[in-house]
Amino acid sequence: MRPYRAHFRCITRCPGEYQLDEVLYRCPKCGNLLEVVHDMEALQQRSAAEWKKLFEDRYMRTDWPHGSGVWGKREWVHPHIRNENVVSMYEGGSNLFWAQRYGAKLGVEDLWVKLCGNSHTGSFKDLGMTVLMSAVKQMIADGKPISAVACASTGDTSAALAAYAAAAGIRAIVILPRGKISTAQLVQPLANGATVLALEGNFDDCMKVVQRLAAEEGVYLANSMNSLRVEGQKTVGIEIVQQFDWRVPDWIIIPGGNLGNVSALGAGLKMMRELGLVNKLPRICVAQVEAANPLYLAYKNGFDKFEPMVPQTTLASAIQIGNPVSVKKAIRTLQEFDGVVEQANETELADAVARADATGMFCCPHTGVALGALEKLVAAGTIRRSDTVVVVSTANGLKFTDFKVGYHQGKLPGVPVCQYANHPVEVPNDYGKVRDTVRRLLGA
Ligand SMILES: *Cc1c(COP(=O)(O)O)cnc(C)c1O
Ligand SMILES: [Zn+2]
CA of 392, nearest ligand number: 1
| 38 Cβ contact list (under 8 Å, min separation 6) | 4, 5, 6, 76, 79, 271
Give the CA distances from residue 201 to residues 154, 174, 183, 240, in Å, rounded to whole numbers and listed in that order: 12, 14, 17, 37
State how far Cα 443 lies from the chain centre: 42
Q: How far is the CA of 326 from the centre of ligand 2 (A)?
A: 14
CA of 125, nearest ligand number: 1
Q: How far is the CA of 7 from the centre of ligand 2 (A)?
A: 14
Q: How far is the CA of 160 from the centre of ligand 1 (A)?
A: 12
Cα gap 416→291, rounded to integer Å: 16
Bridge-based pairing of strands 96-98 and 340-344 is: unpaired
pLDDT confidence of residue 158: 93
Q: How far is the CA of 255 from the centre of ligand 1 (A)?
A: 7
Atom of ligand 1 nearest to the CA of 254: 10
Atom of ligand 1 nearest to the CA of 258: 8
Taking residue 208's Cβ as centre, other Cβ atoms within 10 Å add up to 14
Query: Edge-to-edge, what's the strand order for the sheet holding 110-115?
Result: 96-98, 110-115, 388-393, 251-255, 283-289, 340-344
Q: Is 202 in the pocket of ligand 1 (CB under 6 A)?
A: no
Q: What is the pLDDT along the chain (444 residues), one digit of tens a residue?
A: 899 999 999 999 999 999 999 999 999 999 999 999 999 999 999 999 999 999 999 999 999 999 999 999 999 999 999 999 999 999 999 999 999 999 999 999 999 999 999 999 999 999 999 999 999 999 999 999 999 999 998 789 999 999 999 999 999 999 998 887 777 778 999 999 999 999 999 888 998 999 999 989 989 999 878 999 999 999 999 999 999 999 999 999 999 999 999 999 999 999 999 999 999 999 999 999 999 999 999 999 999 999 999 999 999 999 999 999 999 999 999 999 999 999 999 999 999 999 999 999 999 999 999 999 999 999 999 999 999 999 999 999 999 999 999 999 999 999 999 999 999 999 999 999 999 999 999 986
Q: Is 94 in the pocket of ligand 1 (CB under 6 A)?
A: no
Give the CA distances from residue 359 to residues 7, 181, 310, 353, 424, in Å, rounded to whole numbers and listed in that order: 45, 27, 35, 10, 18
Three-state helix/strand/coil letters over the chain? CCCCCEEEEECCCCCCCECCCCCCCECCCCCCEEEEEECHHHHCCCCHHHHHHHHHHHCCCCCCCCCCCCHHHHHHHCCCCCHHHCCCCCCCCCCEEECHHHHHHHCCCEEEEEECCCCCCCECHHHHHHHHHHHHHHHHHCCCCCCCEEEECCCHHHHHHHHHHHHHCCCEEEEEECCCCCHHHHHHHHHCCCEEEEECCCHHHHHHHHHHHHHHHCCEECCCCCHHHHHHHCHHHHHHHHHCCCCCCCEEEEECCCCHHHHHHHHHHHHHHHCCCCCCCCEEEEEEEHHHCHHHHHHHCCCCCCCCCCCCCCCCHHHCCCCCCCHHHHHHHHHHCCCEEEEECHHHHHHHHHHHHCCCCCECHHHHHHHHHHHHHHHCCCCCCCCEEEEEECEEHHHHHHHHHHHHCCCECCECCCCCCCCCCCCCCCHHHHHHHHHHHCCC
pLDDT confidence of residue 194: 97
Three-state helix/strand/coil letters over 101-120? HHHHHHCCCEEEEEECCCCC
Q: Which residues face 392 on adjacent strands?
A: 114
Q: Is 287 in the pocket of ligand 1 (CB under 6 A)?
A: no
Q: Is 347 in the pocket of ligand 1 (CB under 6 A)?
A: no
pLDDT confidence of residue 437: 96
Give the CA distances from residue 22 to residues 93, 138, 199, 246, in Å, rounded to whole numbers and listed in that order: 30, 11, 29, 35
Judging by beta carbons within 10 Å of its beta carbon (0-12, 13-18, 19+), is residue 56 exposed, middle or buried?
A: middle
Cα gap 341→389, rounded to integer Å: 15
For ligand 1, pick from 123, 180, 262 the residue to mutate: most ligand atoms within 8 Å of CB. Answer: 123
Atom of ligand 1 nearest to the CA of 324: 8
Atom of ligand 1 nearest to the CA of 364: 13
Taking residue 372's Cβ as centre, other Cβ atoms within 10 Å add up to 29
Please tell me the residue having the least CA distance from ligand 1 atom 2.
318
| Identity of the residue numbered 330 | A
pLDDT confidence of residue 391: 98
Cα gap 387→111, rounded to integer Å: 8
pLDDT confidence of residue 266: 98
